[in-house]
Structure 1
Amino acid sequence: MRETLNRRFTRARGQELRVLGVVVVLAATAAVTAGVVTSSRDGQAFAEAAPLASFTPIERVAANVKAPPVRRGGSTGVVTVDCGTNGNRKFSPDNPVAQPGVRNGAQHVHDFVGNLSISADSTDESLAASDTTCRNGDRSSYFWPVVRIDRKANRQANPVGANADTLKAAGPGTVKCPTVRDKLPAVPAQAAAEVNRNLRLLDQQLAEANRRLVTSQGQGGPNFVDNAILGPLRDKRVATLDRIAIAIGRQGARPTGLVSLAECDLSYDGAHANHGGGSSTGGSAGNEVTPTVNCPSVRDKLPAVPARAASEVNQDLNLLDKQIAEANQRLVTSQGQGGPNFVDNAILGPLRDKRVATLDRIAIAIGRQGTRPTGLTELAPCTLTNADPNPEPSPSASTGGQLPGVQGPNLEIAGNLGTIVRPASVKIEYRGNPTSKVVAMPRFLRALTGESKPTSRGPANARASWTCGGFEDRLTDQYPICPAGSQVMRVHDFPSCWDGENIDSANHRTHIQFPDRTTGACPAGTVAVPQLRISISYNIPVQVQQRGQYQLDSFPEENHNPTSDHNDFLNVNSTRQTAKIVQCVNGGRRCR
């Protein structure tokens, strides 16, 4: 049971702070006091420092974390994986799980650990070929929104971050969907007409949703857009994507994973395209952005491919993806090397040469069975995204697929301002199930936890994740104020009840669900896989906490709502690694 209190932060006569923004309070944390803190601790008053109502001393949160009792046949082992704390500065506003193919789609910045090459455009094949920061060789990707400190923030005079009402007043926003044309394998000639009809239908569905967004302004409640526009659009896209897969499958191998492209989202990128970044604290050495490779797409530029050439063409298309992934990995591992032309000479130049050879092979393969395409080698040169630390602001492409990127040395984006705080520690654990043994999770499984948009989508998927070191028996959906010597923490438990078949679903949730909170049992029709838990700790000065000067990166309309905390995971563990995890967990051992 959840209680939603609508609050918004405004200033009255330059003196008073009135609370009116969105804060979602879970029943489990009902003991948390909502409102401005007015007491003192250790002789230090912090009422006048005006921490917002979204901050609370952790001592005021009642103990609410209770593990279900382990039953006979349950699994109690724990496997701990060390993937570091993002010391290589792999920051990105991509979300390859929830917004695949949409560059800068998160509209906030993530910390990434594990897989070194992952980006919005990654494929399963390119992820499997990547190196990793994990000491045991785990190539999985784990990523979460960064935490920032802005010491200049005066929350009474100027609340930190983008203002949701200002963004919404600028217009209804725009529905953005992952692109599909550039994600398809070679389309056999016999299927081309049917595939193209369905691709046009996807465009029509998106245009219709955007028209509905304009004409329905002011209708319904806070979840109207999600329920009346985005939900029906997702259902239509699922059906259309399935028809595309069937059409291609009749002539050859049926493509998998297209369901990942069904989910669309509401973006205010047009309103905040010129967000700028100069209002926060100065640049932070070591927080420079890691750029990613941006190459022209090839799949959507090919003609219909003769069926006899499809296999060879698909092999080379996968090779192009791996070449980009290798270049992205090289960008991470070679930071600080060479002179001003190092990236062009050592990464982009060799990548261009490899792409020329691969594109030529594609043209030859098609030409053996039909008319050889021309001009493919013009697609060989690549550039970098987020390469300029102070780029000129520019609006995003109207067709979708890319949103405004980060700006400035602090990687500020869409009202997410301040200096990024690097985690002091990150603990990644695979845990058991109290009622049953676990089975191996499938390779390339996608999973997420929490709700990045509790304001617009509602709080159903939100999960309390905040606590302090030494207080792990309690979790809150507010920013904690920790006693001296205690670290600010985020604890993210992932769903662990798999449907036994799918590695993803249209909403990225229904294929893997949470166990029952009380018993730990999985729902009927699902099986238990090792439950992933990620615990992130930060050294944040107590004064910063008391003044409300740290916050989570979020979608702009969330105004750094602590309830919008979330975490994403893409499993690239090898079959051998997965088997070892299962054996350890089911054996009740503790392993590394």
Structure 2
Amino acid sequence: MGRTSRKRSKLANRAIAASAALILGGGGLLAVNSYASAGQGWWPSGHGKQNKIRAAAGQQVSTIDCPDVGDSLEVVPDDQRFAVDRQLATLDNQITAAYQRFAQNRQRVVADRRYGENQILAPLRNERLVIIQRIVALIDRSAERPKGLEKMAPCTLRADDNGGGQNGNDQNDGGQNGNDQNGNDQNDGGQNGNDQNGNDQNGAGQAGNGPVAGDFVQIENVQPNVREPRNRRGASRGTFTTECGVNANGKFNPDNIIVAPGVANGAHHMHDYVGNQANDAFASDDDLAAGDTTCRNQGDRSSYYWPVLRLQNGQQEADANEDGGGNDQNVGEIQTPSEVTLTFVGNPRSKVTAMPRLLRIITGDAKAFVNGDANANASWSCTGFENRQLKDKYPICPEGSSVVRTFKFQSCWDGQNIDSANHRTHVAFADGSGRCPNGFRAIPQLVQRIVYDVPAPDFNSGNPVVFAVDSFPEQLHKPITDHGDFVNVFDERLMRTVVKCINGGRSCR
């Protein structure tokens, strides 16, 4: 079993102060490696925003659902980007605080919806409106004033369609009315559904907000669903693999230098880091360029990071009472991966060009549970079964098989920008044939594969030990919220080598 060290870097301590097939017998969404729409990621073609589940009368609400203001921004002038990102981080803080109030008063909210509206949603709407108006004013200083953002202030309460609603009973976990085929209740997401204080949380994990049994499925019940695109004439068939370790030194922090620069705990969940060791919310480009790296090739000082995976086994981590950890409902023992593979691959129809230095890429959506699947790009599987990929379920792997997380990053670049207003539109996925959108050029595609030796949860037992990724509290530790982040800090010479290897059809390290 992977086991984390307890060491933290000084920087980390400073920061912390759709169209998818149904699984046969599983009821979850499959991740299909089709290039259409999300293309070189795993989400199938034709995906769109999922219908949000509103809590009907008598149904138990599970979380707070707020429109994602940052994702809707099309233009943020460079001179205001830092200030806007800080205001967006404030919106995240407001949602987290409101979720805390909701969780503490869950039963009262269920009994009296007016209480939920008056004591949680109305104050949150007013707080959000103030910040959204600040964002509008900041952008208006140097660019066209954005319209309609104020309409995004209201939030709603919603149920968890995988077991957090209907009194915690999952209706889609592959059993019979939320029970396994032997009639045993499978809605206990961990430790008998009790939080660490022994309070019943409807089977929603030790932190009281997930995961639940409906978030898991036996990988053997999933049909093969991965389709690889056909290489065409002119394809770039080579690979470049960079070896950067598994974060055995235990560098963690709950920051996100891409989305929330200058904001401690901007992610509200803990990240694993390999590669660049200077990465925290306060790192400048110069800090990253001068930072140490865990990569074997010292020409790669890039930062690769993702949410930690925890085993909810009752053991407390060093962050049990800190931001990003227990303070944000992320509990349990952080797991060190048994293997991390970082490979850059080519394009099935063209040569690739060099990535610009300090290019930022986010793949997946940390808020996909409430945002919908438009930007989701999580992929879960098991060793020996990687032709079967899951999007919105954690896999239960058979004996001798390990859990695998895979991220296929965007592989088309607009040729101009290293970042964008919503941190997404400067890069894109290719279409089903590997073609980049008009005005975009193919770049090496990062494929990140992370393996964990964790025990399979036994939902037939009275005390299943579950695993889950860290998440924003209101995202309920859903597997669909998994995501990866990358900042390119290759030196120019090594990047030229990467491109030459890929375009030349060679496998290099």
Q: Into which bin does the TM-score normalised by the smaller protein fall?
A: 0.5 to 0.7
Report the counterpart of residue 219 of structure 2 in structure 1: 58
State the one-letter code of the partner of 1:558: Q
1:9 deviation in Å? Answer: 7.9
CA offsets per residue over residues 258-287 of structure 1, 9 Å max, x none?
xxxxxxxxxxxxxxxxxxxxxxx2335xxx
Distance 1:46 1:499, change over 3 A: farther
- Where do residues 132-143 of structure 1 align in structure 2 (5 Å cutoff)? 132-137=293-298, 138-143=300-305
Secondary structure class of the residue paired with 1:119? coil
- Alignment of 1:150 with 2:312, yes or no, is yes
User: Would you say the 8 A contact 2:51–2:372 is kept in 1?
Assistant: no
Structure 2 Cα separation of the partners of residues 130 and 139 of structure 1:
7
- Alignment of 1:282 with 2:315, yes or no, is yes
- Where do residues 86-485 of structure 1 align in structure 2 (5 Å cutoff)? 86-137=247-298, 138-151=300-313, 281-283=314-316, 288=318, 405-406=323-324, 411-477=325-391, 478-485=393-400
- Alignment of 1:534 with 2:448, yes or no, is yes
User: Would you say the 8 A contact 1:5–1:23 is kept in 2?
Assistant: no
User: Would you say the 8 A contact 1:94–1:106 is kept in 2?
Assistant: yes
CA offsets per residue over residues 491-542 of structure 1, 9 Å max, x none?
00100100001000010111010111x2111111100000001011111112
User: Would you say the 8 A contact 2:369–2:475 is kept in 1?
Assistant: yes
Distance 1:544 1:501, change over 3 A: farther
Q: Which runs of 5+ in 1 are unaligned?
A: 13-18, 25-32, 152-280, 290-388, 392-404
Distance 1:544 1:431, change over 3 A: farther
Distance 1:577 1:489, change over 3 A: same
State the one-letter code of the partner of 2:307: P
Structure 1 Cα separation of the partners of residues 412 and 297 of structure 2:
25
Secondary structure class of the residue paired with 1:21? coil
Distance 1:108 1:76, change over 3 A: same
Report the counterpart of residue 36 of structure 1 in structure 2: 173
User: Would you say the 8 A contact 1:37–1:47 is kept in 2?
Assistant: no
Higher deviation after alignment, 461-470 or 108-117: 461-470
User: Would you say the 8 A contact 2:52–2:372 is kept in 1?
Assistant: no
CA offsets per residue over residues 38-61 of structure 1, 9 Å max, x none?
39xxx9979445462111111222
Report the counterpart of residue 572 of structure 1 in structure 2: 489
Distance 1:20 1:59, change over 3 A: farther
Structure 1 Cα separation of the partners of residues 280 and 224 of structure 2:
39
State the one-letter code of the partner of 1:494: F
Structure 2 Cα separation of the partners of residues 460 and 450 of structure 1:
9
Q: 2:467 aligns with which of 530, 550, 567?
A: 550
CA offsets per residue over residues 176-203 of structure 1, 9 Å max, x none?
xxxxxxxxxxxxxxxxxxxxxxxxxxxx
Report the counterpart of residue 479 of structure 2 in structure 1: 562
Secondary structure class of the residue paired with 1:121? coil
CA offsets per residue over residues 306-333 of structure 1, 9 Å max, x none?
xxxxxxxxxxxxxxxxxxxxxxxxxxxx
1:543 deviation in Å? Answer: 3.5
Secondary structure class of the residue paired with 1:583? helix
Report the counterpart of residue 502 of structure 1 in structure 2: 417
Secondary structure class of the residue paired with 2:327? coil
1:121 deviation in Å? Answer: 1.1
Percent identity of paired positions between Structure 1 and Structure 2: 46
User: Would you say the 8 A contact 1:4–1:22 is kept in 2?
Assistant: no
- Between Structure 1 and Structure 2, whose CA radius of gyration is higher? 1
Report the counterpart of residue 160 of structure 2 in structure 1: 21
- Alignment of 1:589 with 2:506, yes or no, is yes
Aligned length: 326
State the one-letter code of the partner of 1:36: D
User: Would you say the 8 A contact 2:219–2:396 is kept in 1?
Assistant: yes
Structure 2 Cα separation of the partners of residues 553 and 94 of structure 1:
13
State the one-letter code of the partner of 2:408: D
User: Would you say the 8 A contact 1:115–1:131 is kept in 2?
Assistant: yes
State the one-letter code of the partner of 2:316: G
Distance 1:390 1:566, change over 3 A: closer
Relative to the length of structure 1, the TM-score reads 0.52
State the one-letter code of the partner of 2:507: R
Secondary structure class of the residue paired with 2:399? coil
Structure 2 Cα separation of the partners of residues 118 and 141 of structure 1:
7
Report the counterpart of residue 487 of structure 1 in structure 2: 402
State the one-letter code of the partner of 2:449: S
Report the counterpart of residue 321 of structure 1 in structure 2: none
Secondary structure class of the residue paired with 2:214? coil
Distance 1:586 1:544, change over 3 A: farther
Secondary structure class of the residue paired with 1:85? coil
Relative to the length of structure 2, the TM-score reads 0.60
| RMSD after superposition | 2.8
1:115 deviation in Å? Answer: 0.4
1:136 deviation in Å? Answer: 0.9
Distance 1:441 1:9, change over 3 A: same
User: Would you say the 8 A contact 1:22–1:561 is kept in 2?
Assistant: no
Distance 1:545 1:526, change over 3 A: farther
Distance 1:581 1:474, change over 3 A: same
Report the counterpart of residue 32 of structure 2 in structure 1: none
CA offsets per residue over residues 386-412 of structure 1, 9 Å max, x none?
xxx857xxxxxxxxxxxxx24xxxx43
Report the counterpart of residue 386 of structure 1 in structure 2: none
Secondary structure class of the residue paired with 1:128? helix
Structure 2 Cα separation of the partners of residues 85 and 561 of structure 1:
23
1:442 deviation in Å? Answer: 0.4
Secondary structure class of the residue paired with 2:480? helix
Distance 1:96 1:282, change over 3 A: same
Structure 2 Cα separation of the partners of residues 125 and 523 of structure 1:
32
CA offsets per residue over residues 334-393 of structure 1, 9 Å max, x none?
xxxxxxxxxxxxxxxxxxxxxxxxxxxxxxxxxxxxxxxxxxxxxxxxxxxxxxx857xx
Secondary structure class of the residue paired with 1:136? coil
Structure 1 Cα separation of the partners of residues 321 and 472 of structure 2:
21
